[in-house]
Amino acid sequence: MVKKPEPGTRTPAAPTRAPSAPPELSEKQCRYLRGVAHELKPVIRVGSAGLTEALAAETARALHDHELIKVKTGGGDREARDTLFAALAERTGSALVHRIGNVAVLYRPRADLPRILIPDA
């Protein structure tokens, strides 16, 4: 039986860099994850400071807790947002599933107990 954390408690800090490479996802798997992420609200909001160590650590913790998260940025031009989302995915060892406007979807499966079972390629 899996013990769930008490409401209002936080899990221990996850490493900012994942020990393994980001997962390789097929188009079918990305489509599935986009569908799952559709109903999610952004968990991480990028402020005016941009990509910081604290932001990377908090994103890694959210990925450890949820596996699939939305990240929202305040704005900027398209190239700056793309660069920010790609750098954040690289630093957290996650896959950039989708980006539309100011919102990106990141996915990193948990090694010990995956919550989201994605279809085979």
pTM: 0.82
Residue 93 falls in which region: left (phi positive, over 0), alpha (psi -120 to 50) or beta: left
Type and span of the H or E element at 96: strand 95-100
pLDDT of residue 117: 86
Query: In this predicted structure, which of 5-19, 45-59, 87-101, 103-117 has the lowest mean pLDDT?
Result: 5-19
**Beta strands 103-107; 95-100: pairing state:** antiparallel
From the number of C-beta atoms within 10 Å of its C-beta (0-12, 13-18, 19+), residue 106 rates as buried
How confident is the model at residue 120, as a pLDDT?
84
Mean predicted confidence (pLDDT) in 67-71: 97
The answer to whether 105 touches 33, Cβ cutoff 8 Å, is: yes
Phi-psi domain of 54 (left: phi exceeds 0; alpha: psi -120 through 50; beta: other): alpha
pLDDT at 105: 98
Which homologous superfamily does the CATH classification assign to the domain defined by 27-107? YhbY-like (3.30.110.60)
Average pLDDT of the residues in 110-121: 84
Q: Which of 1-5, 47-51, 85-89 has the lowest mean pLDDT?
A: 1-5
pLDDT(57) > 50: yes
Average pLDDT (65-84) is 93
